[in-house]
Amino acid sequence: MSDLVSRTRDFVRASVLPLDDEHDGDIEAAGGDDLRVRLQALAREAGVFAPHAPVDCGGQGLGMVDRSAAFEEAGYSLFGPLATGIAAPDEGNVHLLAHVATEAQRATYLQPLARGEVRSAFAMTEPAPGAGSDPSALLTRATKVDGGWVVNGRKWFITGADGAGFFITMARTSGEPGDGGGATMFLMPGETEGLEVVRHVGTVDRSMVGGHCEVSFTDAFVPDSEVLGGVDEGFRYAQVRLGPARMTHVMRWTGAARRAHEVAVRHVAGRELFGSRLADLGMVQQMIADNEIDLAATRALLRVACEELDAGERASKSTSIAKTFAGEALHRVVDRATQMCGGMGVSTELPVARIAREIRPFRIYDGPSEVHRWSLAKRAVRAAEKELA
């Protein structure tokens, strides 16, 4: 694994980071999907493309622990995950399809996605009062018809939707909003009649190709063969994706936060103020030390969760802990880096400001910190009640 990590580091810093810096982390300004295709071709030549993908799809089939360091190195550049084929939502969809898809679905969807021939989207989040942090509020509905299903509904904040080759769409097939079950996942090609990418939802981040979009489904037909997993089992199968996807987010954003930290340390080591280097001031040294602690603690919690996932455990508690801590700790790292760099830290002269811009949503997507805390507290209280009983 050390060879993969070093090759990923070399590739990202030589071929990807200069473009990230030139375009201030704006993927569309840098070339959008055309850039993705070019960078992924270079990543294949360097032998660092899609290490998480199944071996029969051209990947290395790495488990969660083994992929962590390579994913962190890819995340050192905001464009690095896209270049190496490990960006969200494609990386999470590869993981889901590898575990759930039929052989025919693997050939049609997984293999092209793992090879970088298409992009994908995962369509679950809906405008209020629909599914968001509470998936059971799902409103989009699929109605059974002869030979398949007809999907109607509306989604938004669907990452990568513009230009996606296919969608994994969550729709209600039984029950009512608020019920804990009754959802099904459907595989829908991007050109499906009745599926429309309505608009881009404007967000602060700019490094995700395909944007974050509103998508509508109007009598969109899906044949029975494109049901992913079992009917009414969508929420259960979604857990196959969500825990690992949260941890790969942590891996990638650790790389970005580390870059901000390293840039800040170099800055204070060379900047003199009031007769001494900034790096010699106690207040600055405390910020440097706190960043080192937050980065190390993030990796430690990440490893615990990844070991559980590799062992086949659901790891709900450990992934919630790691995701919540990392979202806040990595934000602290980048915020301290901004402060250490002063005016340069909020300028485009250094990468720190754009990393701060891009990392802020991490505390919201894949479950806001507050929702994870609520879940952890409920789990602890249930355990206490069980003991008392």
Please list the alpha-helical segments (H only) found in 101-146. 103-105, 111-114
The pLDDT score that the predictor gives to residue 257 is: 98
With CA atoms as reference, report the closest residue to 369 among 322, 336, 332, 334: 322
Please list the alpha-helical segments (H only) found in the chain. 2-11, 17-22, 27-30, 32-46, 64-75, 80-83, 90-100, 103-105, 111-114, 234-270, 282-310, 316-341, 352-359, 369-388
pLDDT above 90 (res 205): yes
For 218, the token pair is 């109007």
- Domains of the chain (ranges plus CATH)? 2-114 (1.10.540.10), 120-232 (2.40.110.10), 236-388 (1.20.140.10)
Q: Which residues contact 349 (CB under 8 A, 6 or more apart)?
A: none
- Rounded Cα distance, 319 and 305, in Å: 5
pLDDT above 80 (res 372): yes
275: pLDDT confidence band, cut at 50, 70 and 90? confident
- Averaged over 257-283, what is the pLDDT? 95
Tens of pLDDT, residue by residue over 163-187, are 999 999 999 999 999 998 999 999 9
- Rounded Cα distance, 137 and 128, in Å: 9
Give residue for tokens 């002269």.
Answer: 349
